[in-house]
A = this chain, B = another copy of it.
Amino acid sequence: MDFNIIRIARTVINVKDLDRSKDFYVKALGMIETETKDNCVYLRGLEEHTHHSLVLKKSETLGVHALGYKVEKEEDLDRLAELFQSKGLKTKWLKEGTQHALGRALHVHDISGMPLEFFCKIEKAERLLQRYDLYSGARIQRIDHVNCAVPDVEKAYNFFINELGFACSEYTTIENGSIWAAWLHRKQTVHDQAFMNGDGPRLHHFAYWLPDPLALIHCCDVLASLGYSQNIERGPARHGLSNAFFLYLRDPDGYRIELYNGDYLTSDNDFEPIRWDLNDPRRQTLWGAKAPDSWFNETSPFLDIETNEQIQSMSPILAQRKPELVI
């Protein structure tokens, strides 16, 4: 590959009520508001030196815009455009200034029809890592990863590994050896991008890194105090897969956000990806508790990079099912 994708860098989601969503992300979860402008709220974590990693965009139609990846050099964008065009995939250029705080951006639909964005430049913002007086809620540090349902995980896996240069840290197979889910990374954590078998392409969740496990527990308490206890969907518990201590929340529009702490360094090219059986009860939750049905069945639609309409999803090629946790 002659380009370098650095990491997942932002998600942009349509929300129905900006104030309601801002209350959730800022007052309950502790994200930092960089600015609010033109019906968009720009949010970042305490560690982030970039303008934002989450954009709340006022809209009557819910949906997730192209998932934003940061690349090393401007030229990387041109190389990526060539790649996607050579595969017959849709691409679209957004000139610097088109999107607030962002440089030139390339929007594409990937092999699964999922909208992706690549950019090199993003405005800087004051990094608040040592402004401990501003820490509140979950003390959200930085964007960690996105997880998407796609109908053909192996196809998505092959595209990201072979064409985009991702590495695999862990994956799940079913009885016949087919890949049911995969955890792929560019930065040296367990993942930037995960895929799981399902109706798609759709967003399952986006995730933020926390500084320690007690920040996650405190966030549960704060959510309860502020009347958000019904927004807690799953956890706290530990994933067998990734080893993370996790909490899944549903935001006021139903988008799923994961709070996440405790995975591991994936710097080594000779690290052997860890394989899990779909039905291993420790895979999902090391401690054995089952995920609720909503966690398996409910996801959010993506928006087309040209029409901004919700992308139609296709049925998965593997049977969509909740794992049988035979203990």
Best-buried of A72, A221, A226 by chain B (most CB within 10 Å): A221
Which A223-254 residues have a C-beta within 8 angstroms of B? Answer: 223-226, 229-230, 232, 236-238, 240, 243, 245
Closest residue of chain B to A46 (Cβ to Cβ) is: B264
Best-buried of A133, A142, A222, A327 by chain B (most CB within 10 Å): A133
Number of copies: 4
Please state if B217 and A265 are interface contacts (CB–CB under 8 Å): no
How many residues of A are in contact with the other chain, CB < 8 A? Answer: 61
Query: A187 is contacted by which of B212, B222, B265 (Cβ under 8 Å)?
Result: B265
Q: Which residues of B contact A226 (CB under 8 A)?
A: 133
Q: Which residues of B contact A56 (CB under 8 A)?
A: none
* A7 touches B (CB below 8 Å): yes
Q: Which residues of B contact A220 (CB under 8 A)?
A: 237-238, 286-287
Best-buried of A27, A222, A240, A286 by chain B (most CB within 10 Å): A286
Known: A245-B217, A287-B223. A267 touches B212 (CB 8 A): no
Q: Which residues of B contact A281 (CB under 8 A)?
A: 229
Q: Which residues of B contact A225 (CB under 8 A)?
A: 130-134
Known: A220-B238, A288-B230. A265 touches B47 (CB 8 A): yes
Please state if A267 and B49 are interface contacts (CB–CB under 8 Å): no
Q: Which residues of B contact A316 (CB under 8 A)?
A: none
What is the 8 Å Cβ interface bit string for chain A, positions 263-275, against chain B (1 contact, 0 not)? 0110111011000
Known: A211-B262, A223-B287, A229-B286. A70 touches B133 (CB 8 A): no
A residues with a Cβ closer than 8 A to B are 6-7, 27-28, 47, 49-50, 70, 72, 124, 129-136, 141-142, 187-189, 209, 211-214, 217-218, 220-226, 229-230, 232, 236-238, 240, 243, 245, 262, 264-265, 267-269, 271-272, 281-282, 286-289, 327
Pick the 5 closest A-B CB pairs, nearest first.
A229-B288, A132-B221, A133-B225, A132-B225, A187-B267
